[in-house]
Structure 1
Amino acid sequence: MSFSEEVKQELIGKLPSSRHCQLSAAAALLHHCGLVQEIEGEPVLYLRTDRREQAQKLFTILRKTLRIERDFSREEEKLRVRGRIYFRAGIASQDMRRILTALEETRDSTGAEPAAFNGKICCKRTYLRETFLCIGSVSDPKKGYHLEFDCASEEQTFFLRKLMESFDIHAKTLKRKRYQVVYIKEGEEIAALLNVMEAHVSLMAFENMRIYRDMRNAVNRKVNCEAANISKTARTAAIQVEKIRQLEERGRLKSLEEGLREAAEAR
């Protein structure tokens, strides 16, 4: 299992207890993993995920917040959109309307992304956590530092950057094919985001690897510096020996002052 998968496995198990955080979690999962299509005049929800636990988590949240007593079925119809697999959620049409209404209530005035969660830090943490589950990834810290979110629009990138900045985490953006990517390459800020998302086990593993890499780099720098100094000393000594040999061949070595001559002979 990759480090990114380990982080996600840890985050899947975190279920918010308060209703406002549950709504934030549902909003993130539906915004970034959900797809609603109309079939025979009725709205049908699809969820993009390869983890049954993530689908079950969304259902649990919907059951707690909206009292929807339907489950997800991995055996039902699948839908492929732009190379991605979406699994159909077994939710009745009347319940789907309640979900869509609740989802609209979480959006801001532009309709683009969730509102500012009434300034609640816990809801911001929850939204970032569930968003990472849907569209996030992080590289193995043994190989390098890189965390990213593959967003579908510039509005999503703006919102995510603004959300992370509220925790003093500064991300950058780039365009990659059809995605707008929000990314972080500094180890300290990746660690901060893991802490914000409450991936504490993964954070410890990440920090341990950071310490190991920092120590290894420090040792390598010291060894390289010492090797360079030894090489420089050897080159200088070789030049001095050659000069002394030239003085000796010309018979000028004995004309040097006594202390200097003794040093030259010793060399």
Structure 2
Amino acid sequence: PDKKSHLELKTTHQSLAGEETSLMLDLGLSPKQARRGSAYLLYFKDGASAEDFLTRIGAPHAAMELMQAKVEKNLRNTINRQVNCETANMMKAADASARQIAAIQALIDSRGEDAFPGNLWETVRLRLEYPTDSLSELAQRFDPPISKPGLSHRLKKIIELAEKED
């Protein structure tokens, strides 16, 4: 059940395979058919059909185990996707913060604190004081707080100033 579900019935008698197919069709199941060597196969490749088959032949516990495994797998996949997304966002934020701090340091080294007009100085001060803050967190530290797009604009302006220095 940890892998993709596949249920297979195998017989060496063609007539028996035909009867099994008829019975399953009567139950509303549609197995696929194949021949491998001298064996005749009836199989289900999707989990839902395998679960239906197990339930209808009187093995509801086995069907429930398949369902539970599928739910657990979906939950693990969802959690992994969320963690990967959050990790990627944190890495992007950390990279952006590092670029901003490098630009700030370059401007301070070349022109001193006078390189930053008015409202940019407060942005510089807060970014240097809180290097790990996200834009949202940093925007809330202003008095009064500013918008995230407003802070982003200021930080882009600082990076542009630093790039002109190069």
TM-score by length of 1: 0.38
Q: Which residue pairs with 2:64 in the alignment?
A: 204
Given the superposition, is the C-alpha separation of residues 185 and 238 from structure 1 closer, same or farther in structure 2, using an over 3 Å criterion?
Answer: farther
Q: Within 5 Å, give how 1:144-183 maps onto structure 2.
A: 144-152=4-12, 164=24, 167=27, 169-173=29-33, 176-183=36-43
Q: Which residue pairs with 1:221 in the alignment?
A: 81
Query: How many pairs align?
Result: 127
Given the superposition, is the C-alpha separation of residues 199 and 255 from structure 1 closer, same or farther in structure 2, using an over 3 Å criterion?
Answer: same
Structure 1 residue 230 and structure 2 residue 74: aligned?
Answer: no
Shift of 1:246: 2.2
Given the superposition, is the C-alpha separation of residues 208 and 259 from structure 1 closer, same or farther in structure 2, using an over 3 Å criterion?
Answer: same
Give the alignment partner of residue 259 of structure 1, picking from 100, 109, 119: 119
Q: Which residue pairs with 2:2 in the alignment?
A: 142
Shift of 1:252: 6.7
Cα deviations by residue, 1:50-84 (Å, 9 ceiling, x for unpaired): xxxxxxxxxxxxxxxxxxxxxxxxxxxxxxxxxxx
| Alpha-carbon RMSD | 3.2
Which is richer in helix?
A: 2
Shift of 1:143: 4.0
Q: Which structure 1 residue ranges, 5 or more long, are not aligned?
A: 1-140
SS at match of 1:250: helix
Given the superposition, is the C-alpha separation of residues 204 and 258 from structure 1 closer, same or farther in structure 2, using an over 3 Å criterion?
Answer: same
Q: Percent identity?
A: 27
Distance 2:19 2:117 in 1: 79
Distance 1:167 1:257 in 2: 78
Given the superposition, is the C-alpha separation of residues 202 and 266 from structure 1 closer, same or farther in structure 2, using an over 3 Å criterion?
Answer: same
Q: Do the aligned residues in 2 keep the contact of 1:244 with 1:253 (CA within 8 Å)? A: no
Q: Within 5 Å, give how 1:8-23 maps onto structure 2.
A: none
Shift of 1:168: 5.0
Distance 1:191 1:155 in 2: 25
Distance 1:234 1:258 in 2: 26
Q: Which structure 2 residue ranges, 5 or more long, are not aligned?
A: 128-166
Q: Which residue pairs with 2:99 in the alignment?
A: 239
TM-score by length of 2: 0.57
Q: Which residue pairs with 1:248 in the alignment?
A: 108
Shift of 1:214: 2.4
Q: Within 5 Å, give how 1:125-140 maps onto structure 2.
A: none
Shift of 1:157: 6.5
Shift of 1:148: 1.4
